[in-house]
C-alpha cells in the first residue's frame, strides 16, 4: 500500500497548492486554494495551513512531516527564510531549511530561495524546488541545462552539475498585467470585454512576437504603443490587442535572452510551466527559429519530495522516472 509520508505545499503569492504524498514520491491527493500569501485573510497563515491540510495528519499516528516552498518563506510570508547563494544544489537547499510552529504544535519546514550575486543580483523563491523536481524527472538535465520558468517573473536558469547557477529574471508577466489593467494599451480590450487568448499560428500573439523580433535595436519600448495605434487605424481588432501585447512582451523576453546569454542561436531549453504558458512560449520560440523546448510539468511536488528525502524529513526511497532512471 502506498502510505502517506509527507505533506508538501507550493505556497506562492496568489495561489496555494497542497500535496499529500506517498512513500514513492507520488501525489496521493492534491488541493488548491486561491490563498497565496497576499490573499490570506488577516494574514493568518496558521489557519489557512490547517484548512488546506485538514484530515491529512490523522491518516498517520503522530502526524506527517511537512515541507513548503515559495513566497511563504519571504518577508511577507509566514517566516522569512534567508536565501542561499548560487551555485545551489539539493543538499544546499536542504541545509537551509527553516521552520515555523503550526497551530497544532507541529513544525512546517520551509525551503529557502536562491540568490545570484553580481553587478545585477537576482533572486528566486519557489522555482528552486521546481528545478530540483525537473532534475529528478529529467536526469539528463543535471549535467548542463538552460531552464525557463515562465510566470509573473520569468526565470532563465543555468544548471551545471546538478546545481542552480546563474539566472536572469524577466518581468514579462507582471508588465502584461500592469499594462492590461492600468494603461491606455489595455483599454480597447477592457472596453470590449476581451481577455488574452492563445498563441495559435497566425494569431495576433504571433504578430506581436514578430513585431519585437524584427525591431532591430529598438526593442519593445519603441513598439509598445503599436498595441493602441494599430487598433486606432483599424489594422488590429480591439479583442486581439491583448494577445498582441502579450506577444510583444514575451518576444522581448526572448530577444533580451539572446543578448544576455551571448549565444546565437540560443541553445535548446527546457520549459517548466503549466500547459497554457508552455504553448505561448513554444509559439514564441518558433517565431525566433529557436529549437522547440522540451516541457516538464508538475515538477514542484517531486522537488518537495526530493528535498524532504535529502533533509531526512522522510526516508529516502527509490523513485523511478518515466525514462527508467532511479534516484535515491
Q: For 172-296, CATH number? A: 3.30.420.310
Closest to 9 in 3D by CA, of 88, 89, 102, 95:
102
pLDDT of the residue at 60: 79
pTM comes to: 0.91
Distance between CA atoms of residues 328 and 310, nearest Å: 9
Distance between CA atoms of residues 47 and 55, nearest Å: 14
Domain boundaries of the chain, sorted by first residue: 4-126+298-327, 172-296
pLDDT of the residue at 274: 87
Q: Which residues lie closer than 8 Å to 128 by C-beta, 6 or more apart? A: 69, 88, 93, 111, 112, 113, 114, 164, 303
CB 65 within 8 A of CB 53: no
CB 319 within 8 A of CB 133: no
Q: What is the grid cell recorded at 252?
A: 522581448
Closest to 250 in 3D by CA, of 199, 292, 193, 185:
199
| Residue 119 burial by Cβ neighbours in a 10 Å radius (0-12, 13-18, 19+) | exposed
Q: Which residues lie closer than 8 Å to 77 by C-beta, 6 or more apart? A: 11, 37, 45, 71, 110
pLDDT of the residue at 261: 75
pLDDT of the residue at 263: 58
pLDDT of the residue at 185: 96
CB 91 within 8 A of CB 51: no
pLDDT of the residue at 298: 85
Q: What's the 3-state SS for 240-273?
A: HHHHHHHHHHHHHHHHHHHHHCCCCCCCCCEEEC
pLDDT tens per residue, the chain (328 residues)? 588 999 999 999 999 999 999 988 999 999 999 999 999 999 999 999 999 999 998 877 778 999 999 999 999 999 999 999 999 999 999 999 999 999 999 999 999 999 999 899 999 999 999 999 999 999 999 999 999 999 999 999 999 999 999 999 999 999 999 999 999 999 988 888 877 666 666 799 999 999 999 998 899 999 999 999 999 999 999 999 999 999 999 999 999 988 887 655 666 799 998 888 999 999 999 999 998 999 998 899 999 999 999 999 998 654 433 333 333 3
pLDDT of the residue at 143: 93
Query: Which class does domain 4-126+298-327 fall in?
Result: alpha beta
Distance between CA atoms of residues 20 and 278, nearest Å: 26
pLDDT of the residue at 268: 76
Please, what sign has the CA dihedral across residues 139, 143, 146, 149?
Answer: positive
Amino acid at each position: 500500500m502506498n502510505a502517506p509520508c509527507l505533506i508538501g505545499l507550493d505556497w506562492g503569492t496568489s495561489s496555494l497548492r497542497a500535496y499529500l504524498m506517498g512513500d514513492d514520491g507520488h501525489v496521493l491527493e492534491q488541493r488548491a486554494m486561491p490563498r497565496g500569501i497576499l490573499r490570506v485573510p488577516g494574514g493568518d497563515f496558521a489557519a489557512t495551513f490547517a484548512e488546506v491540510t485538514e484530515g491529512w495528519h490523522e491518516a498517520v499516528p503522530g502526524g506527517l512531516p511537512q515541507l513548503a516552498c515559495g513566497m511563504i518563506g519571504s518577508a511577507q510570508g509566514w517566516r522569512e527564510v534567508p536565501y542561499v547563494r548560487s551555485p545551489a544544489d539539493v543538499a544546499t537547499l536542504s541545509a537551509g531549511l527553516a521552520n515555523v510552529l503550526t497551530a497544532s504544535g507541529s513544525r512546517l519546514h520551509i525551503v529557502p530561495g536562491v540568490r545570484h550575486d553580481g553587478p545585477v543580483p537576482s533572486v528566486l523563491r519557489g522555482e528552486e524546488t521546481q528545478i530540483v523536481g525537473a532534475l529528478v524527472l529529467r536526469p539528463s538535465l543535471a549535467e548542463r541545462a538552460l531552464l525557463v520558468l515562465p510566470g509573473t517573473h520569468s526565470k532563465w536558469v543555468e544548471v551545471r552539475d546538478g546545481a542552480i547557477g546563474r539566472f536572469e529574471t524577466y518581468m514579462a508577466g507582471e508588465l502584461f498585467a500592469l499594462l492590461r489593467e492600468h494603461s491606455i494599451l489595455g483599454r480597447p480590450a477592457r472596453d470590449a470585454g476581451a481577455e488574452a487568448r492563445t498563441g495559435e499560428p497566425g494569431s495576433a500573439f504571433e504578430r506581436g512576437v514578430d513585431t519585437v523580433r524584427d525591431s532591430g535595436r529598438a526593442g519593445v519600448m519603441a513598439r509598445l504603443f503599436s498595441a493602441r495605434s494599430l487598433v486606432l487605424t483599424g489594422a488590429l481588432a480591439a479583442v486581439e490587442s491583448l494577445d498582441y501585447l502579450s506577444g510583444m512582451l514575451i518576444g522581448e523576453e526572448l530577444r533580451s535572452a539572446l543578448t544576455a546569454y551571448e549565444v546565437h542561436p540560443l541553445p535548446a531549453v527546457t520549459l517548466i510551466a503549466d500547459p497554457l504558458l508552455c504553448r505561448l512560449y513554444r509559439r514564441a520560440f518558433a517565431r525566433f527559429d529557436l529549437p522547440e523546448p522540451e516541457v516538464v510539468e508538475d515538477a514542484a511536488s517531486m522537488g518537495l519530495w526530493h528535498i524532504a528525502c535529502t533533509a531526512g524529513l522522510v526516508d529516502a526511497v527509490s523513485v523511478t522516472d518515466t525514462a527508467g532512471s532511479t534516484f535515491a
